Chains A and B, each alone.
Chain A
Amino acid sequence: MAARQLQSSFLTALKYIVLIALCLIVMGPVVTAILGSIRTNGEFLSAPFGLPQNGIQWANYIDILLNPTFWNFMKNSFTITVTVTALNVSLASLLAFVFTRIEFRGRGLLFNILSLGLLFPIVIAFLPIFIQVRQLGLLNNPFGVILPLVAGGLPGSVVILRGFFIQIPNELEDASYIDGCTTFDFFIHILLPLARPALTAVAVLQVIASWNEFFLPLLVLNDEKLWPLPLGMQQFQGQYSTDWSRIMAYVTLLIIPAVLFYLVAERYIVTGLTGGELKG
């Protein structure tokens, strides 16, 4: 018995050693980035893990925060993210509703066409999308980024929402009709409120995807005034290519909202990633 206990506590210790080692590898780069951002560039590059010797270098941050272009990038990111998310969630819930609740000829065909979007990575379509956006005169227009992002996200969102809508019992729908609801009433006043967790999950995934999108804005937006933060980050990195502590201040400023958002939305990220796509 004692030997067995010893073996099991040895095993536990081993598990922790593995986990902690991995944590160091995963978080090491992040922690050094943040530490680097509050030190001078020289300090940072000579000793990645050290603490500030010459006082905390708030200037790294203040310079960025006082720069109006930073806030302009932020505003653009915000506009793109909010618009993409709102459009995606509303269009996807309309579609998912029809695909689960209303039967008509050609429904399966429509759903299959939409599902095609899940079968290839959207990056492959970026050149054709670029040509289309250019033909429509949407180059250098935020909607040239927004609409393709909505289109690319729709199939996934519809599949997730459909998975949740299906679970809402038909009896509820019948009961609402007996009480005099129209189909539209049922959708707006009963189904959507019930599906709020799923809607939030879809919205959260769209926020992450559109906030982080880099490639499409790179193709579509030439005017720096329209750039979202990822493009701004690249430009900043190019400008200050050797001033790593300044670059890390910029990186940290972008990490903070991402982590805060994650903490708030964690539950929904997990449901969104798993709930709609897995049966179990």
Chain B
Amino acid sequence: MTEKLSQEVRKLPPCRAACPAHVNVQAYVALIQKGKFKEAVEVIRKDLPFPAICGRVCFSPCEDACARVNLDQAVAVRSLKRLVADIEHEQGRVIAKPVPKKYSEKVAIIGAGPAGLAAAYELSKLGYPVTVFERMAEPGGMMRYCIPDFRLEKFVVANEIAYIKDLGVEIKTGVEFGKDITLESLKKDGYKAVFLAIGTQLGMKLNVPGEDLDGVINAVDFLRAIALGEKIAVGERVAVIGGGNTAIDAARMAKKLGAREVMILYRRSRGEMPALPHEVELAEKDGIKFYFLVAPKQIIGENGRVKAVECLRMRLGEPDENGRRRPIPIAFSEHQYEVDTVIPALGQMVETSVLPPELLSKEKRGPSLQVDPLTLETNIPGVFAGGDVATGPASIIEAVGAGRRAAVSIHRYLRGWDLRKDRDGERIEETTWVKDWRLLEKKERRYDAPIEKPHLSFEEAREYLERLKRQARFEAFRCLGCGPCAECLASMELCEGDKAVVDEGKCVGCNICAVVCPVEAIKKNEKGVAHVNEDLCKGCGLCAARCPERAISMKKLSDEQVLTMVLTALKR
């Protein structure tokens, strides 16, 4: 798994380098091209235990990094991932083979969210006995309790977690950290390493007067209550405060629960909204109103219930340390929105009360937990922490990335290896040859129907699927394959994994091969003869076709072999 990646510096295609979990995007897209959907999911699972979940709700940094953007638009990676995962689900849940326990050291993971589960997944694949402790009744964390059903179906989460359980991970639910178990009790029970991934469970407060009125409910609590099946009465007119994905989710949920009018109040403008643009579009389609550059000043109540929210107009000032422009209130611009429910969705914070005090950071600002950003160690040996709890609220894929890093650290810690030597993270480099593309003229090509129809239920999507398979393959064909050929691993036998070989005796050092090579894989070495860098060679054979002395041949599909194929074809 990550070991191989962490031991060598590899030039990765931009999509894989951009992904926090370094999922091998190019490989599975190549497999989709060939119609090998099942193998594609297997490739995703090597790095990511949640293909179906991420296929639905990932913010897809891979698509932002896609080199295809320079030509028309990015390859729809997330939709492709969702599709292959759905095709797999359609044929029934895949049952993983349990991994034999190679090591005896027990590992405890606190929190069955994406970070904890990803760490458990990687550690159990390595052969450790892993136990995950979860406070809630069901594992899944925010994926289960905070993302509403219309974005991420509960059974999808359950399926993916069941796959992790199949590997031999034990998940104990209803166990609260700080109450039922502590670091000491875990140590006493024989756990050699602990990974804290409790996430950020508390909704941030508005800090305005009137916050404890009846009818003010935090977005996280609101969504969690719905996921738990509690009856929540939303009023007629709902104001959601905030501009993140949780705000959008809460607003859409309120609308679906029957609110007549839902508005989102955000203190910056649309461009600064952290929510995914496509989610914002969907919210607009649902009829949710957006008010930008407004911030609540107070919540006005009547008989203990919310009556209105009083807001101030804002203007944007200088960018802050995150590069977002800071909102500045405009004096005397108070105005009121008449609402009966206020849902603050300003972000979440760590429930510091459950954490042992020695782990907490002394600094007031910044993350509340002291964690080494590379190895995820805390100041207690054997205790690691990662995911939202360490970095502040982020995304599923970032949590998975943290979980994977923690797994590598725990593995090294338990084996007594150096935790820092040759770690990935800062060593990920992008391939650079894509610069050539930028010379080409940018062309407009609209990718017709999107693969994903977010409104479809799973059953509807199934009918849609057959038609989509063909479309998916076309979409996958748009991939430029920025990485070297060996990037595809599983598809090796499909595309031959061909490499160029130089006959050094014949080479005259004309350097034509270096000129035609699209990836700078072949170059003159110090002896003055061409030398192939096999890590980069994609096996296109352009150099072999141009070599004036015919000194270059291809390993798998040589000219002689092509000729034999021609002869057999013509005899037919």
Partners in one complex: no
Measured CB to CB, the residues of B under 8 A from A are none
Measured CB to CB, the residues of A under 8 A from B are none
